[in-house]
Structure 1
Amino acid sequence: MTAGCSGTMASDTGSCAGSACGCWSSQPTARKTVIMKHVKIILFFIISTSCGVRTLMFICFFTFILVMVTGILLGRGISPRGKLSYGGRKRAKKALQLFKQKKVDRIILSGGHTSHKNPELSEAGLFSDYLIKKGVPRQKLFLEESSLETIGNAVFSKKVLLKRQFGKNILVITSDYHLPRSLFIFKHVFGPLYQIDGASCRTLISKLRHKSKEFVSWKIDEQLLRKIPVGDHRQAEKAIKKYIPMYGE
């Protein structure tokens, strides 16, 4: 892992416990919380019933599925040369670190065909190529190639999640300046039944410019999300296709 990415994590408010490598992250508390809850349920079930071995094995397997964490890696554009952008590479490196540290069990790669110069390429496809070369098994990566911005990242990633019947523990992986807005959007689109946490890497280049753009984008997204019930990704998909011009191109 290169400088700029660290596994030190804090709360999902965007605050960080920075490390020597200078990465900012949100603590993926989902796994620990869910494990403790289901351990208590299993112990109560064992004590209060005379369940058989097969039943107990089924309960343990089901609990294991519930505590698995799905990382969602958000795209950051494609360079004119048809490669991951600088920001995209940093996000991919963070996702790689989290996977190696077993903080995520699988990764949804979220990002569509955003380059007019290289329309055949998708951000998700470039992420996949990068991570596979770095040793992540192909079967642990799931492409989402329909999104063109952050609300789309949430909408179409949730569709992948539901189709694959993954659990409800989510770790959003993006840049530090982008994390607060991303968590705001993902929590609205996914709804209260999901545990949404985040992890991010520090951005040193043009941070002030990024933050000012994020402020404007947040206000625009906030106006759009007011039209959408919390947790209703179908309505969210209709809204972005109606109100965000790039989806109509």
Structure 2
Amino acid sequence: MLANLMDRYGRLNDDSSARLETAVGILKETPKSRLITSGWNYRPDSSIMIAHAMRDCARNVHGIAPHRILTDSSARDTVGDALFVKRNVVEPSHIRDLTVVSSAYHLPRVQQIFEFVFGSGYRMRFVSTQIDHTRGVEKSEIASLAAFRSTFDGVLPGDTEAIFQRLVRKHPLYNGTVHPAF
């Protein structure tokens, strides 16, 4: 499941909470499945990784057993969620079936990014929560998708190493433009 935001104490906002509730519902319906949380410590006023905040909420609020939760704290955005979950969790664990959970307004972009990053050979299902969003989110999602396409133009879908190299060279959240270089 993809996170949205949290406060400085690691409390998830309504969007992240709704995504987690949806993911936990799916998890409870499929006893052999696992929850993957993703995301870094993006807040300058906190050292908490959002992946850890979601993991802790899944454990402490929803009662999910720790062995059913996999966590990666490398991602700084949706592209990073897809790439680092694939590279650091899915591939080493030999996972082939994925259900990706996000908000309805975010899911069209999520689906295109995840399908590109994972390429063929994976079964993916995309599930959305229904949560209100502020005006202008649609324009932001369209602009973000256009930036994604431009950044990864010429890279083959599913080529994990080429996607990683392009990410750390060209993406402003990873190449040192906005945050320290990855």
Flag whether TM exceeds 0.5 (same fold). yes
User: Are the aligned partners of 2:27 and 2:33 in contact in 1 as well (CA < 8 Å)?
Assistant: yes
Q: Distance in 2 between matches of 1:198 and 1:221?
A: 19
Greater Cα radius of gyration, structure 1 or 2: 1
Structure showing the higher helix proportion among its residues: 1
User: Are the aligned partners of 2:37 and 2:69 in contact in 1 as well (CA < 8 Å)?
Assistant: yes
1:114 aligns with 2:42: yes
Once the two structures are superposed, what CA deviation does each residue of 1:105-147 show, in whole Å capped at 9, x if it has no partner?
11111111211111x2111100111011111111010001000
SS of match in other structure, 1:170: strand
Task: Please state how far the C-alpha of 1:242 moved relative to its aligned partner.
Answer: 1.2
SS of match in other structure, 1:114: coil
1:136 aligns with 2:64: yes
1:149 aligns with 2:77: yes
User: Are the aligned partners of 1:110 and 1:143 in contact in 2 as well (CA < 8 Å)?
Assistant: yes
SS of match in other structure, 1:177: coil
Task: Please state how far the C-alpha of 1:104 moved relative to its aligned partner.
Answer: 7.2
SS of match in other structure, 2:126: strand
Q: Which amino acid aligns with 1:188?
A: F
Q: Which amino acid aligns with 1:201?
A: T
- Which of these residues, 89, 95, 99, is aligned with residue 171 of structure 1? 99
Instruction: Tell me the TM-score normalised to structure 1 length.
Output: 0.66
User: Are the aligned partners of 1:104 and 1:171 in contact in 2 as well (CA < 8 Å)?
Assistant: no
Q: Distance in 1 between matches of 2:160 and 2:84?
A: 8
1:102 aligns with 2:30: yes
Q: Percent identity?
A: 24
Which runs of structure 2 are paired with 1:56-75 in the superposition (5 Å)? 73-75=1-3
Task: Please state how far the C-alpha of 1:103 moved relative to its aligned partner.
Answer: 8.1
User: Are the aligned partners of 1:188 and 1:230 in contact in 2 as well (CA < 8 Å)?
Assistant: yes
Q: Distance in 1 between matches of 2:151 and 2:122?
A: 21
Q: Distance in 2 between matches of 1:103 and 1:227?
A: 40
Give the aligned partner of residue 162 of structure 1.
91
SS of match in other structure, 1:240: helix
Q: Which amino acid aligns with 1:182?
A: V
Instruction: Tell me the TM-score normalised to structure 2 length.
Output: 0.89
1:214 aligns with 2:141: yes
1:229 aligns with 2:159: no
Aligned residues: 174
Alpha carbons of structure 1 residues 229 and 104: separation in structure 2 relative to 1, 3 Å: farther
Q: Distance in 1 between matches of 2:173 and 2:119?
A: 25
Which runs of structure 2 are paired with 1:86-101 in the superposition (5 Å)? 86-101=14-29
Give the aligned partner of residue 199 of structure 1.
127
Q: Which amino acid aligns with 1:186?
A: F
Which runs of structure 2 are paired with 1:36-75 in the superposition (5 Å)? 73-75=1-3
Alpha carbons of structure 1 residues 193 and 86: separation in structure 2 relative to 1, 3 Å: same
The gaps in structure 1 that reach 5 residues or longer are: 1-72
Q: Distance in 2 between matches of 1:85 and 1:144?
A: 20
Q: Distance in 1 between matches of 2:158 and 2:40?
A: 22
Q: Distance in 2 between matches of 1:235 and 1:181?
A: 20
Q: Which amino acid aligns with 1:117?
A: D
Aligned Cα RMSD in Å?
A: 1.5
